[in-house]
Chains A and B, each alone.
Chain A
Amino acid sequence: MVLISAPFLYAFILLAFPILSVFAHSFWTQNYLTINYGFTLENYRIALTEPLYQQLLLRSLRISLTVGVATILLAFPMAYFISFHGGQRKGLLLFLVTLPFWTSYLLRILSWKIILGKQGALNTALMSAGIIDEPIASLIYNSNAVILTLAHSWVAFAILPIFVTLEKIDRTLLEAATDLGDGPFMRFVRITLPLSATGIVSALLIVMIPTVGDYVTPKLVGGSEGIMIANAIQSQFGRASNWPLGAALSVVTMASVGLMSGGLFLAVQALKRLAR
């Protein structure tokens, strides 16, 4: 009890207090450098109705959903391969796959900036190979570049929860399904997939939640077309210097993330009930 209280207090003070103060600020207003403590919903009105912010929030959610789905599609076969065909080298493969996730986040994004740039590695490589004559400009500075970069960044992390649930599947269940007449494909659909659903959902969540609020990727490869809500929040605390609006945008972002996760959770529960 005593043991956990120190770290708990630390986390509580550095997490709950700050988030509460964000809440508080979101109901205040700011005039140049002084905060006006009168209660107002004006910030929320702006955050929710201003087309720019609406668009940024929707885009952020759309991008994170796309990234989530893309990483699952990319990660599942790899997790499956490691779990079912990894044999003795399971640990090594898992390490190899997750290693890039731990290396510099900034560098991983930078590498895509170098690859996708108009005079970047991909365009110049294709040109010197004679495949294209003109550099393709649409590779970078749009939502797709953001999605590609984020998917690459997070795919390693998505493998872990999927791998864990696949490992937990009792292999005799698969033999039982075969025994009862299923071929490899039907067996996958009727046993492996439903039993790894929890892993897929947690992978989806641990990818989608952080990516909604990603700042560096849209900044470096997003351009004006790929800019996301985090960039707007940052500018309220930087150049625009409107903390209350920034706080309101943060709260709205948190709420949407919460709603999204809750919705996903409920959808999965409903699916499970339907299946049995």
Chain B
Amino acid sequence: MSLSSMIEVRDVSKRFGCFVALDRVSVDIREGEFFSLLGPSGCGKTTLLRMIGGFDSVSSGEILIGGKPMQDIPANRRPTNMVFQSYAIFPHLDVAKNVAYGLKRQRLGAKEEARRVEEALAQVSLGHLGARMASQLSGGQRQRVALARALVMRPKVLLLDEPLSALDKKLREQMQVELRRLQQSVGITFVLVTHDQYEALAMSDRVAVMFGGQIKQVAAPQEIYQRPATRQVADFLGGMNFIEARIGEIGSSHATVETETFGRLQVLKPAHGSADFGKAILGIRPERIRVLWEDETASDVISGTVMERHYFGEVTHLIVKTDDNQPLLTVSETNDFGADDIPVGAKINLAYERDAFVLMAE
């Protein structure tokens, strides 16, 4: 993966009347990377994608693709191609004609065109379906046709607008793997819009998390999950226990904080934003706290009472009230050791790791 920028989004805003859909967004997307825009519906992620593709105009700021400003370049002349959420398969054409749609304009000659179409269909394992009409395709097949139709254009950037949201769970998981594999084999930049955090984490090189028209954090999946910059980001990416803390000393990379339940802790400073606030939010993922069985010992232990128990098959979530009457903690424990047998009302001990805490901006 090269580190040069493929897409540069500079200070881009989008206003619909007095509603601000995008608020001075800046981000660099690198050449050959799989980049995801993740956020809840209405956060502006689709608007940003459509601006890159040229389907929505930019109210202010600019977008560069391959170093060239895109201001005056309409969608049909941009080096991007899109896989639409609804797939937008042309209903009056068969699969091969759908895939050949964009090539027709390049006047490659019938032979070369047929070869390219065949190659693209093979890429998405649809080689045998060229003569099918769009109406005869299943959801997964339609999605592959949409992919082939865009890839056959050999774009610099492939834009994917929630491409998997219409598929059922099993097919979705299979397509996640395939999409990732496909991206690595063709090597072009993929920009994916999704509201599914697992999808974004599983497929991407980097993820941008968006809320309210702003990008709150851009980072690799592990970092996004383990070191979310804000409470919002942490919350969106899965369960997180939030603990109120007071900032003590601030070092160059670490800060010392005080909490009621866990005492004094040394934590990394937030990835984004300044750390010079008196009050801060500390987070710990439920799976980073574990039940301490009777025959075990650990250096950092708290105790509490189980208030609720939720069974999820491979794991059980315990809602625990700590003895110092702080807000309830959620603990996620695998069922290998019998966490699903702990009765509600039981007194238990919990062990935690000191480096599992993250300091976040509110």
Contacts and interface: CB of A to CB of B under 8 A. Distances in A.
Interface of A: 170, 172-173, 175-183, 186, 190-191, 194-195, 272, 275-276
B93 A178 contact: no
B76 interface: yes
Contacts of A175: 55, 75, 82, 84, 88
A179 B83 CA distance: 9
A172 B88 contact: yes
B75 A176 contact: no
A272 B106 CA distance: 24
A275 B97 CA distance: 10
A176 B101 CA distance: 10
A195 B91 CA distance: 8
A144 B74 CA distance: 45
A182 B97 CA distance: 15
A270 to B, nearest CB: 14
Contact of A195 (B54, B77, B92, B94): B92
**A-B complex: 6 closest residue pairs judged by Cβ atoms:** A180-B102, A176-B88, A172-B88, A178-B75, A181-B105, A179-B82
A180 B91 CA distance: 16
B105 A172 contact: no
B53 interface: yes
A267 B101 CA distance: 25
A275 B84 contact: no
Interface string B127-152: 00000010000000000000001100
Contacts of A183: 74, 76
A68 B150 CA distance: 40
Contacts of A190: 101
A176 B90 contact: yes
A272 B93 CA distance: 9
8 contacts: A172-B86, A175-B82, A176-B90, A178-B74, A180-B102, A182-B76, A183-B76, A272-B92
B105 A191 contact: no
B287 to A, nearest CB: 40
Contacts of B93: 275-276
Contacts of A194: 92
B153 interface: yes
A181 B153 contact: yes
A170 B92 contact: no
B204 interface: no
B96 to A, nearest CB: 10
Nearest to A190: B101
A271 to B, nearest CB: 11
Contacts of B91: 173, 195
B44 to A, nearest CB: 18
A139 to B, nearest CB: 43
Given A182-B76, A275-B92, A275-B93, A177 B101 contact: yes
B84 A172 contact: yes
Given A170-B88, A276-B133, A180 B81 contact: yes
